[in-house]
Amino acid sequence: MDTLNYQTLLTTILALTESETDEIALMATVACELHHADDRFDWTGFYRVTEPELLKIGPYQGGHGCLMIPFSRGVCGAAARTGQVQLVDDVEAFPGHIACASSTRSEIVLPVKNRAGDLLGVLDIDSNQPAAFTPADAAGLETILSRVFGQL
């Protein structure tokens, strides 16, 4: 499997989002670019913080996602609750996993924060392959998110 070139992807995303300040427009562009950059990415999207302790679906690519996820449940909730990247090799082994799609085998979820450090939401990427994501993916995605959303 070829490794995704996150630096090239970052350059592309920054060019596409230059001077954009609307977080929904940014999320839509990032989701689209990420989703089409790697065959491992089966579902790529954002869940936004819309009220305390609650995520609601935002821009995404792929099949239907869950509409709402409380911070107390699932991989997305864990990322929102802890502020930590969740790298899950086997979603069936994750306590409280929410099965939005039966094809999902592994998942990576990253918190999305603005310049002030406020949680805007999470980036959720699902794969139909087990153990599809690596710490290198986490690092590359964290860089993209901090550069794009850290300006807000």
> In the chain, where are the structural domains located?
6-149
Strand (E) or helix (H) holding 71: none
Q: Is 66 helix (H, G, I), strand (E, B) or coil?
A: coil
Percent of the chain at pLDDT above 70? 99
Find the mean pLDDT for residues 52-68: 96
Helices 6-17, 23-35: axis angle to 10 degrees equals 150
Cβ–Cβ under 8 Å, residues 124 and 76: yes
Tokens 């805007």 sit at which residue? 120
pLDDT band at 3 (very low <50, low <70, confident <90, very high): confident
Look at the chain and count its residues.
Answer: 152
Using alpha carbons, list the distances in angstroms from residue 69 to 21, 32, 33, 59.
25, 22, 24, 15
User: Range with the lowest mean pLDDT among 81-90, 98-107, 131-140?
Assistant: 98-107
Tokens of residue 36, six digits:
């089409």
Q: Which CATH class is domain 6-149?
A: alpha beta
Q: Is 113 helix (H, G, I), strand (E, B) or coil?
A: strand
* Per-residue model confidence (pLDDT) at position 2: 57
Region 18-37 average pLDDT: 97
Q: What pTM value is reported for the model?
A: 0.96
User: Over 70: is that where the pLDDT of 1 sits?
Assistant: no
% of the chain residues with pLDDT over 90: 91
Q: pLDDT tier at 97 (50, 70, 90 boundaries)?
A: confident
Residues with Cβ within 8 Å of residue 34, at least 6 apart in sequence: 9, 41, 44, 61, 123, 125, 141, 144
